[in-house]
Amino acid sequence: MKSFDAIVIGGGQAGPFLAARMVEKGMKVALIERKFLGGTCVNAGCMPTKTLVASARAAHVARSGAVYGVYIPGEIAIDMKVVRARAETVTMNARNGLIGWFAGMDGMTVIYGHARFEDPKTVSVNGETLTAPRIFLNVGARPVIPDLPGVNEIDYLTSTSIIDLDTLPRHLAVIGGSYIGLEFAQMYRRFGAEVSVIEHGPKLASREDEDISDAIADVLRSEGIDIHTGASDIAFAKSSDGITVATDSARIDASHVLIATGRKPNTDDLGLDAAGVITDGRGFITVDDKLATNVDGIWALGDCNGHGAFTHTSYNDFEIAAANLLDGDDRKLSSRILAYALYIDPPLGRVGMTEKQARASGHKILISTRPMSRVGRANERGETKGFMKVIADAETKKILGAAILGIEGDEVIHGIIDAMNAGTTYPALQWSVPIHPTVSELIPTLLGDLKPV
């Protein structure tokens, strides 16, 4: 049996950085990864997908050149092999950077293999047994495949496997109208494929307020994406030239099907029962406000704990754990204000509560909206789709949440994220003097228009 000061299972965006901090403190750490360092973000999430989004936007801008007085003769051609190779290069640069970083650390042992608990302090991997007083789980999540008629009879794609596609689908059917599915839908439409989105619920991006969901649908429809919401009785069958996707109200002749109906944690094969670690009904590991499980000496970080399936929330889990365990701090999960983005174009930047959540919480609220068509930067760039929305508490004057669907919305939202984290009241932020011409300059104006509902 090999002994360590700590064992980290999973090489995503929390565990490796915590491992590095512990090594800096003179600890002996084992980092176990079953596949690739970097987790979903580096290998099948943010980095490759946003690289693909960038290629798709380049194609869109090239096709739109005439609007700006720029004429490109002939058709805009897409070389999917080059597109895929570019995304792979970005991934490999990041992955190899992590490999090199850890290789240079005395006290760090990286083990590739599948770890399972033998007891609360012991794990086995590759036939060896390792023990440590502290064990950190950062095992991530994977795509969920729903039990739909015919799904196991077709060669479907997931958000992981579609990244390896180096040919252009004739017609891509996307099953699931949430964040991952919508990004791939617009991306492949811009590459030149026909695209249909099939969503069981009544709206796309159902987490958002209805006005945001409707605006997202308008953006996608304006680019020729076929959207089917409220779809039931979804079934698949092989056809002579691809796959038939049938619903209660539509029949789609697709060449490829992307299943994007959510993700589930990679916790079902860790031997958690042997350690006594509790999970909820969906398989997420139950943690307290400091990310500790019910078993002393075991923590769960990142997607597997169900508290934010994002790279930045996973990294923040590392920050919370490191601050509490290594720096003598007292940081809590409950202090985190959730923010995220939807990377369609224009992007959606979101922070805090939706209007629906704010109303349900009992706050006396103020709301302000402003169309992007009234933003100078948006008009200058010819990108006026979407709108801004902010919700505030009428009594405390604190901002409760905001949504910016529009050009640079994923960047502009950070002004509000920072204000909310600092506890700044909206009247104080209203008197800031932003730079012109930017999208952010409209934040004080937006706040100035807050009205009771």
DSSP conformation letters of 369-430 = EEEGGG-HHHHHHT----EEEEEEETTT-BEEEEEEESTTHHHHHHHHHHHHHHT-BHHHHH
Domains and CATH numbers, the chain: 2-141+264-335 (3.50.50.60), 151-261 (3.50.50.60), 339-452 (3.30.390.30)
**pLDDT number for residue 308:** 87
Cβ partners under 8 Å of residue 347, min gap 6: 341, 405, 408, 409, 410
Please give the DSSP secondary-structure letter assigned to residue 121. T
Angle between helical axes of 179-191 and 210-222 (0-180°, round to 10): 20
Dihedral-angle region of residue 283 (phi above 0 means left; psi in -120 to 50 means alpha; beta otherwise): left
What would the pLDDT profile of 276-295 be if each residue is shown by its tens digit? 999 999 999 999 999 999 99
Whether residue 173 contacts residue 257, with contact meaning beta carbons closer than 8 Å, is answered with yes
| pTM for the whole structure | 0.96
Query: Which residue type sits at 427?
Result: P
What would the pLDDT profile of 204-249 be if each residue is shown by its tens digit? 999 999 999 999 999 999 999 999 999 999 999 999 999 999 999 9
Distance CA 404, CA 207 (A): 15
Dihedral-angle region of residue 80 (phi above 0 means left; psi in -120 to 50 means alpha; beta otherwise): alpha
Distances in whole angstroms, Cα of residue 173 to Cα of each of 91, 99, 428, 439: 26, 37, 47, 34
Whether residue 218 contacts residue 233, with contact meaning beta carbons closer than 8 Å, is answered with no
What would the pLDDT profile of 379-418 be if each residue is shown by its tens digit? 999 999 999 999 999 999 999 999 999 999 999 999 999 9
In three-state secondary structure terms, 122 is strand
Q: What is the mean pLDDT of each run of 10 residues along the chain (453 residues)?
A: 97 95 97 95 96 98 95 94 98 96 95 98 98 98 97 97 97 98 98 98 97 98 98 96 96 98 96 98 97 98 94 97 97 97 98 97 96 96 97 97 98 97 96 95 96 94
Per-residue b/e over 189-216, b at no fewer than 16 CB within 10 Å?
bbbbbbbbbbbbeebbbeebbeebbebb
**pLDDT number for residue 309:** 87
Catalytic residue among 60, 200, 256, 436: 436
Query: Which residue type sits at 41?
Result: C
Whether residue 160 contacts residue 180, with contact meaning beta carbons closer than 8 Å, is answered with no
Q: What residues are paired with 348 via a beta bridge?
A: 342, 405
Cis peptide before 346 (omega within 30 of 0): yes
Whether 436 sits among the annotated catalytic residues: the reply is: yes
Q: What residues are paired with 244 via a beta bridge?
A: 237, 253
**pLDDT number for residue 401:** 98
**pLDDT number for residue 383:** 96
Angle between helical axes of 80-103 and 15-24 (0-180°, round to 10): 30
* Whole-number average pLDDT of the chain: 97
